[in-house]
Structure 1
Amino acid sequence: MQYIAFFVLLTTAVFADDRLQHFSFSPPVGSGSGTQYSLTGEGRITAVRVWENFNGYIFGFQFRYGFVWSPIAGHKSGQVLEMELFEGENIVQISGKHNHYLYSVVFTTNRGRKLFAGQPVGHSFNMYPEHDGAELRFISGRVHGAITSIGAHWADVNPAANRTGH
């Protein structure tokens, strides 16, 4: 029930921005235990950071929106991996492996570049937008030590909106 209320609230916030169209949601995967997180920001995603622990778990995420880094969802623990996006590049797919925790994640861009983090253990998942031209806008899920679930929120952005969202 909390996920439904959370989803409605976030959907309302997304639709309030008239530059966004064709919203879709990839439901969360993983156990879903722990505290909720939502990783959002102003403008388009321009870089991604992922913290992977030596145990193979994904411990944290951070997105840069325009020139501003978001707060961290989860924790800074282990090795940080980062991918900076090029002008006009955006994230169009999230895949990976999960069980109780998120064991691996792969962010794929519309240019075919990928950021791999974690270990390929557990059940596979694959998330992508329902509409052509849509891109990743934000993620949400739960964290309990490591990341226990991830869901993806997609929308296309009016081309008139610039990289920083201003």
Structure 2
Amino acid sequence: MIFLVFIALLSGTALADVWHDAQSYSFSQQVGTGNGLSYAITGTGRITGVRVWEANNNFIYGFQLRYGYTWTDVTGLKLGQKQEIILFDDEAIVAIWGKYAFYIQSVVFTTNLGRSLFAGRPVGHSFNMYPADENGELRFISGRFQGAITSMGAHWAIVTDPYRRNGKYLQ
């Protein structure tokens, strides 16, 4: 009987840990038409850089994220001009806003230090994405693409980074 009580306490602790983690996660609904192939750009640790490809100051054609020192594969196309932001230590993406019509027309990634990456042409319906928790930051993005990016959504969490010590990335 004592063994069962011990197992129940361990299970309750594990459930509380899972519930706490669930409270620090939020999702910003996808915007756009959502046509084409689905994507999710994920990695390990914190996001440390963002690249966006735009063509002729118009549609968003591709995304790439950097986690630690490693860039993900490009989602979409490397078409047009590349816009890039490399984050400072302890800097994080805390908001995404922009415009969409059939494609994602423009996107702005904003950091907790007030810096932004702007790409595309601001025409269409507006969107704003941000974490539900004030300590949250961008964890990954997902959506669909068909030539250009047709939709995107943002996934937010409070990130603890096993690859950092004293604010510096381990090599």
> Shared fold by TM > 0.5?
yes
For 2:45, which of 37, 43, 46 is the aligned residue? 43
- The answer as to whether partners of 1:19 and 1:158 remain within 8 angstroms in 2 is no
Aligned AA for 1:67? Y
| Residue aligning to 1:133 | 135
Query: 1:157 Cα shift?
Result: 1.4
Residue 61 (str. 1) matches residue 63 (str. 2)? yes
Residue 156 (str. 1) matches residue 158 (str. 2)? yes
Report 1:103-118 matches (<5 A). Answer: 103-118=105-120
Runs of 4+ in 1 over 3 A off after TM superposition: 18-21, 163-166
For 2:97, which of 95, 98, 104 is the aligned residue? 95
Mark the CA change 1:97 to 1:159 in structure 2 (over 3 Å): closer, same or farther. same
Query: 1:158 Cα shift?
Result: 2.8
Structure 2: give runs of 5+ residues left out of the alignment.
1-16
Larger radius of gyration: 2
Cα distance between partner residues in 2 of 1:131 and 1:51:
29
Mark the CA change 1:44 to 1:20 in structure 2 (over 3 Å): closer, same or farther. farther
Mark the CA change 1:86 to 1:62 in structure 2 (over 3 Å): closer, same or farther. same
| Residue aligning to 2:36 | 34
Cα distance between partner residues in 2 of 1:135 and 1:21:
14
What is the TM-score normalised by the length of structure 2? 0.82
Query: When the two structures are aligned, how many residues end up with a matched partner?
Result: 151
- CA deviation digits over 1:21-77, x for unaligned, max 9? 600000100000000000111111001000001160000000010000001111100
Mark the CA change 1:160 to 1:73 in structure 2 (over 3 Å): closer, same or farther. closer
Percent of paired sites with the same residue = 56
| Residue aligning to 2:76 | 74
Query: 1:111 Cα shift?
Result: 0.4
| Residue aligning to 2:7 | none
- The answer as to whether partners of 1:44 and 1:164 remain within 8 angstroms in 2 is no
- The answer as to whether partners of 2:92 and 2:138 remain within 8 angstroms in 1 is yes
Aligned AA for 2:64? Q
What is the TM-score normalised by the length of structure 1? 0.84
CA RMSD of superposed structures (Å): 2.4
Cα distance between partner residues in 2 of 1:69 and 1:48:
9
